[in-house]
């Protein structure tokens, strides 16, 4: 119930208002305009309670707000908290319940204090938390004002005290005379983890914004370790290939020279056969190693190629490679 006195005129006006006002009309009654602040507050409160009983809290809340502005009665504050809670404005309801609990404790109204505190605690578990930090050097800015969703934050709230907020977007602003204002929109979607916000130093109005430094990225000319050096198998393949090609060509050259000078003697035939055999085996081994080496390893600077050759003593092939 609303605390405070009610005059007979206020009761008469409220009754008359309730019988003449249509269900769709929820603005302040014109018949209350000529009354004093306390009487107007009573009329608005009574009409708001009627609307709330009809389930029309969205219309009742503005009337209770105006009634509370005209007369800051504890009962109006409590009923407005209920109205906010029913319209899912949990943070505003929590704040009013907390105020009512403190006021009721000072007034020795333990029952109302208990009810308001319990309802506030139930809402607190449904709220997220914002932590606003204003560094000392920023807090010393002359006439600095910090607001959250348009509501001024006392300096006590600048020191990382968690502030309960509803889920959704919130706006943190800081302003001071002669300084560029700061504004940040913060989306809040989780009630389990507090969101920390810091207010930066406000720049002078004539101060140019800092020029962003250009970051130039110079592409590296070094190749990665994987492709810079060939693998062990690649190196072995090239060594075997070059050596085998040399042995093969040497054996073939000995045979060709012997034939050109009149015949292939037994020692020349043996030497030639050994050279050709070693060369052939080496080339086969080199080819196998080359084929089993991944292409990425082979492209790191190693290469091998067989080049046909023609000379005075006949034809042949040369194995060329690079590391």
Q: Which residues contact 49 (CB under 8 A, 6 or more apart)?
A: 60, 79
pLDDT in tens, 49-76: 999 999 999 999 999 999 999 999 999 9
Q: What is the pLDDT of residue 286?
A: 61
pLDDT in tens, 255-282: 666 666 666 566 666 666 666 666 666 6
- Is the CB of residue 179 less than 8 Å from the CB of residue 141? yes
CA distance 116 to 98: 7
pTM: 0.51
CA distance 132 to 116: 26
The parts of the chain modelled with pLDDT lower than 50 are 1, 3-26, 222-229, 300-301, 308, 310-315, 323
CA distance 319 to 199: 72
Q: What is the pLDDT of residue 69?
A: 95
Nearest of 148, 139, 204, 207 to residue 177 by alpha carbon = 204
């Amino acid at each position: 119930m609303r605390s405070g006195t009610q005059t007979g005129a206020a009761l008469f006006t409220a009754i008359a208002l309730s019988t003449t006002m249509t269900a769709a009309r929820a603005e302040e009654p014109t018949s209350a305009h000529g009354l004093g602040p306390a009487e107007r507050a009573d009329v608005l409160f009574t009409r708001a309670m009627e609307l709330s009983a009809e389930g029309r809290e969205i219309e009742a809340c503005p009337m209770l707000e105006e009634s509370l502005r005209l007369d800051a009665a504890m009962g109006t504050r409590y009923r407005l908290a209920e109205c906010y809670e029913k319209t899912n404005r949990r943070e505003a309801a929590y704040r009013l319940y907390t105020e009512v609990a403190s006021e009721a404790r000072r007034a020795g109204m333990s029952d109302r204090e208990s009810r308001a505190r319990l309802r506030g605690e139930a809402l607190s578990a449904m709220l997220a938390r914002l932590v606003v930090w204003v560094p000392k050097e920023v807090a010393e800015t002359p006439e600095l004002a910090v607001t959250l969703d348009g509501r001024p934050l006392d300096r006590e709230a600048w020191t990382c005290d968690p502030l309960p907020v509803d889920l959704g977007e919130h706006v943190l602003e800081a302003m001071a005379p002669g300084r560029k204002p700061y504004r940040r929109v913060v989306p809040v979607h989780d009630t389990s983890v507090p969101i920390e916000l810091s207010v930066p130093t406000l720049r002078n109005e004539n101060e140019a914004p800092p020029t962003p430094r250009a970051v130039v990225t110079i592409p590296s000319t070094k190749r990665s370790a994987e492709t810079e050096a060939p693998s062990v198998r690649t190196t072995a393949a090239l060594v075997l290939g070059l050596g085998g090609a040399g042995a093969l060509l040497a054996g073939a050259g000995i045979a060709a020279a012997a034939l050109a000078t009149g015949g292939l003697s037994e020692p020349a035939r043996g030497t030639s056969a050994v050279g050709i055999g070693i060369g052939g085996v080496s080339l086969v081994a080199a080819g196998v190693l080359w084929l089993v080496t991944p292409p990425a390893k082979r492209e790191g600077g190693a290469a091998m190629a067989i080049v046909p050759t023609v000379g005075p003593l006949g034809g042949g092939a040369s194995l060329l490679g690079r590391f």
